[in-house]
Amino acid sequence: MTESFSRRNLMGLPLAELSEYFAGLGEPPFRARQVYHWICRRLAGSFQEMSDLPQRLRQRLEEEAFLADPEIVERRQAADGTVKYALRMLDGTVVEAVVMPMDGHHTLCLSAQAGCAVGCRFCVTGALGAGRNLRAFEIFGQFRQLMRDQKLLGQRVNVVFMGMGEPLFNFDQVVASLALLGETVSLRRITVSTAGVVPKLDALGQLPRRPNLAVSLNATTDEQRARLMPGVARWPLPALLEALRRYPLERGRRITIEYVLIAEINDSLMDAKRLVRLLTPLRVKVNLIPLNPDPVYLPGLAPPSEERISAFAGVLAAAGVNVSVRRSKGLEVAAACGQLRGQLAGRARNGGLAFLPRL
């Protein structure tokens, strides 16, 4: 994808900046509101779709501006309806996003970074290494492309920041993207998932309007956490749990605790009992996620047996913890975080693709 950078990218501009742009064109203020509506609510892919603009203005915008949506470079659909996307940004950076059909709605999983510095031992994105932050318009562009490609405008959708990267390492741009997403999706249907960046958790809690919060915990001791999630080990479990205790929750909301179960590493009954003690008395629900294996990037790691998963969940349930087991969707299309991009990178190295995804 190439664009002339002498043209102005209008995608993701706040309404105030869009108003300044149209004032510079000599257009009345309501034109900015019209275009903002088309970009953020109608998810228009071109200026020509903006049917209530005069043709002369549409033509001028085609010549002097553009909408920097990412390009869909690969799309894979699983038997369960899950669709995994590889999306290329203007500079050639490739990230992943996923659409998952659920009961009565679709969930869109977006990336906040092109890579991840947390380095989780069980995550392909972590194995691929750190990459750059995505801009707000690049995050919102993922949403726009998925919504249009799946024809979901007007339908019930959830949005989760559970793709590539640690959202709270890209705090300012993620918050800016929430403002854009909030034009179409209620913040009560948007979830930001973090590995536990304590200072930014506090900053997220101070926002006047907050998304749902999910925390990827995956460990019940600091030693275990440092081994599994080295990039956030600087914030020990007591500091993280204290941050969760002071995090403001609206009535009826809970923090989601995500716990990836890895055979013989963090799936023992002792781990389950420690997890109960750590989470008491937080208002949480726990998603147990059996590891989605990848023999290339995650050698030697496997999900526990069904018996160990059930036993682990049973300890939590017996203690009164709201717990569920989340089954991976889209296994055959590399739907876990980083898997598709990892495959694309491997194919590029072997001459199978014309581009090498860049971080």
Tokens read off for 203: 């900053």
Residue range 8-66 forms a domain whose CATH class is mainly alpha
Mean pLDDT along residues 28-49: 97
- The beta-strand segments (E) located in 195-334 are 212-216, 255-261, 284-290, 322-325
DSSP string, 109-162: E--SBSS-SS--TT-HHHHH---PBPPHHHHHHHHHHHHHHTT-TTS-EEEEE-
Contact yes or no for 137/169 (Cβ under 8 A): no
For tokens 């948007």, the residue is 190
Told to judge if 116 belongs to the known catalytic residues of this protein, a careful annotator would answer no
The percentage of the chain sitting over the pLDDT mark of 90, rounded to a whole number, equals 83
Among the listed residues 40, 109, 120, 337, the single catalytic one is: 337
Q: How far apart are CA 35 and CA 62, in angstroms?
A: 13
Please, where in the chain does CATH 1.10.150.530 lie?
A: 8-66
Q: Which fold has domain 71-349?
A: TIM Barrel (3.20.20)
Q: How far apart are CA 14 and CA 12, in angstroms?
A: 6
Model pLDDT, residue 5: 56
In total, the chain counts a number of residues equal to: 359
For tokens 């389950």, the residue is 272
Mean pLDDT of the chain: 91
Model pLDDT, residue 340: 54
Indicate the range of 46-50, 285-289, 353-357 predicted with least confidence.
Answer: 353-357
Per residue in 214-237, pLDDT (tens digit) is 999 999 999 999 999 999 999 999
Tokens read off for 329: 């969707």
Per residue in 243-272, pLDDT (tens digit) is 999 999 999 999 999 999 999 999 999 999
Told to judge if 63 belongs to the known catalytic residues of this protein, a careful annotator would answer no
- Characterize 312-328 residue by residue with b for buried, 16 or more Cβ atoms within 10 angstroms of its Cβ, and e for exposed: bbebbeeeebebeeeee
Contact yes or no for 10/17 (Cβ under 8 A): no
Among the listed residues 27, 40, 74, 96, the single catalytic one is: 96
Please, where in the chain does CATH 3.20.20.70 lie?
A: 71-349
Model pLDDT, residue 12: 93
Strand 94-102 and strand 105-109: the pairing is: antiparallel
Contact yes or no for 260/218 (Cβ under 8 A): yes
pTM over 0.85: yes
Per residue in 146-180, pLDDT (tens digit) is 999 999 999 999 999 999 999 999 999 999 999 99
Q: How many Cβ atoms are within 10 Å of 239's Cβ, its own excluded?
A: 15
Give the helix, strand, coil percentages of the chain, each rounded to 5. Answer: 40, 20, 45
